[in-house]
Amino acid sequence: MPTNSSTRDLFSAHAWLVNASPVWQDNSKPGRRLIDYLEPKIHSTLKQRNWKSIVVTGLYKRDGSDIVSQSENRGRGFNWQRPTAEIIDADTVQLNCFPTVDYVLHYASVASTYFSLRSFPNASIPPKVEFIAPKRDASVDLFNHTNLTEIGHADIVIIGYLDACPAEVVTRKQAFVEARICKEGQMFSWHKQKTPSGCTVAYLGCAAALWGDSVAYLVEVLQPLCKLKCVLYVGRVGCFDPELKPNETLAIGETCHADGRVVDFHNVLSASASESPSVHTGSLVTVASPLCEDQEWFQRWMEEYRWVDCETGYIAQAASIRDIDFGYLHVVSDNLGCQYVDNLANEDETFIQAKRVLLFEEIDRILEVFLANYSYN
């Protein structure tokens, strides 16, 4: 994976970047087609002209000449910002992504695969897609120049919950000790609570999409800011086990693989989740993008691993290095081993969101048990 700032042609990197073919797609079925997954992720500017060149880079820019995509949904409150576009010249457009290597690779694959599937008037060939990978720790500097520096003390920080949780579940929670909602131009929001043992808990939300190892660097920044003792991650995973139904299953585990390294750890949520019939245990592999999950990849990982996502392994590594307690509990959003109706291309559908409300109520029960009994050892 490239770590310098030079422009790279996709064809000189990973094959899945050029024309992805993940196992979870079925282009013969509406709602499972790869194009249904890609379409809402394509910046509106990329569709408005027959570009010859698209450069995808890790640069957080949302002012001046930067064009915000028409597909952004500010009503979500969290995780609503998407890459912005910057017109370089008549033939070239630059896509400015949150500065993490995996996110740049993901969007490069999104763009390249999309234009390989779509035909446009007066365009004989699809645009050439290149990428400029940011420095590995580029997000650290960005985080340190946001309102995150105002968060103050928090023994426990819960990441992902506010981003993924249905709004009606958040509004039903008990009153928060402190609620900080990000203003225009700010990146982070947080809600704080006190546990029965006196620990301060911060539910952290972000306007930007935190992807890949950026969440590990977030943990690095939070530790000195908060005097962080424990980080919890609530998100979504894909599943290898064909028997487990998406959006009816919660995933947990104590082994993660990311970036060529395996980390074994004590998941601090395991005991609190042990009696839940919705929770299943397994090892997790972290990847750059769900678009890399082709048949060859699936065959390589299916025997040893049960879950796949883009962040958890990095967080486990960051927490282990810094002696921070860590736990994850995820919604199974799609199944790679069997084609269910629920999948990555239709996860915003009302019937899926209704299922997730039930799962997040179960997550809340598990978190409540954990927070009532947690003490840092």
Domains and CATH numbers, the chain: 7-136 (no CATH), 139-373 (3.40.50.1580)
Whole-number Å distance between alpha carbons of 125 and 315: 40
**Confidence grade of residue 162 (pLDDT, cut at 50, 70, 90):** confident
Lowest-pLDDT choice from 69-73, 290-294, 296-300: 69-73
Determine the Cα angle at 67 with ends 61 and 70, to 5°: 120
- Over the chain, what is the mean pLDDT? 88
Pairwise pLDDT comparison (38 vs 77), residue with the higher score: 38
**Which of 337 and 76 is assigned the larger pLDDT?**
337
In DSSP terms, 205 is beta-bridged to 189
pLDDT at 33: 85
In the chain, the percentage of residues whose pLDDT exceeds 70 is 86
Closest residue by Cα to residue 142 from 212, 235, 72, 60: 60
Instruction: Give the angle 7-10-16 at the CA atoms, nearest 5°.
Output: 145
Q: How far is the C-alpha of 335 from the C-alpha of 337, rounded, in Å?
A: 6
* Nearest one of 177, 242, 225, 192 to 322, comparing CA atoms: 225
Q: What is the mean pLDDT of residues 358-366?
A: 94
Residues in the chain: 377
pLDDT tens, position by position, 240-282: 999 999 999 999 999 999 999 999 999 999 999 999 999 999 9
Higher per-residue confidence, 119 vs 35: 35
Q: What whole-number percentage of the chain has pLDDT above 90?
A: 69
CA atoms within 13 A on the CB side of 71: 14
The average pLDDT across 185-208 equals 91
Residue 321 CB coordination number (10 Å) = 12
Sign of CA dihedral 336, 341, 347, 351: negative
Distance between CA atoms of residues 20 and 279, nearest Å? 31
For 345-358, b/e burial (b = at least 16 CB within 10 A) is: bbbeeeebeebbee
Element (H, E) at 23: none
Q: Per mean pLDDT, which range of 3-7, 58-62, 130-134, 257-261 is the poorest? A: 3-7
Contact 249, 239 (CB under 8 A): yes
Better-scored residue on pLDDT, 177 or 90: 90
What is the secondary structure of 50-101 as a DSSP string? --SEEEEEE----STT-B--TT--GGGSSS----EEEE-SSSEEEEEE-S-H
Termini Cα distance of the chain: 37
Q: Could you tell me if 3 and 13 are in contact, meaning their C-beta atoms sit under 8 angstroms apart?
A: no
Query: What's the pLDDT band for 4 if we cut at 50, 70, 90?
Result: very low
User: Tell me, what's the pLDDT at 375?
Assistant: 85
| pLDDT of the residue at 74 | 76
Q: What is the mean pLDDT of residues 86-103?
A: 95
Burial status of residue 140 (CB atoms within 10 A of its CB: 0-12, 13-18, 19 or more): middle
pLDDT average, residue stretch 70-93: 89
Average pLDDT (127-142) is: 91
Instruction: Report the run of H or E that residue 326 belongs to, with start and end.
Output: strand 325-328
Other C-beta atoms within 10 Å of 260: how many? Answer: 6
pLDDT of res. 166: 61
Question: How confident is the model at residue 319, as a pLDDT?
Answer: 98
pLDDT value of position 22? 87
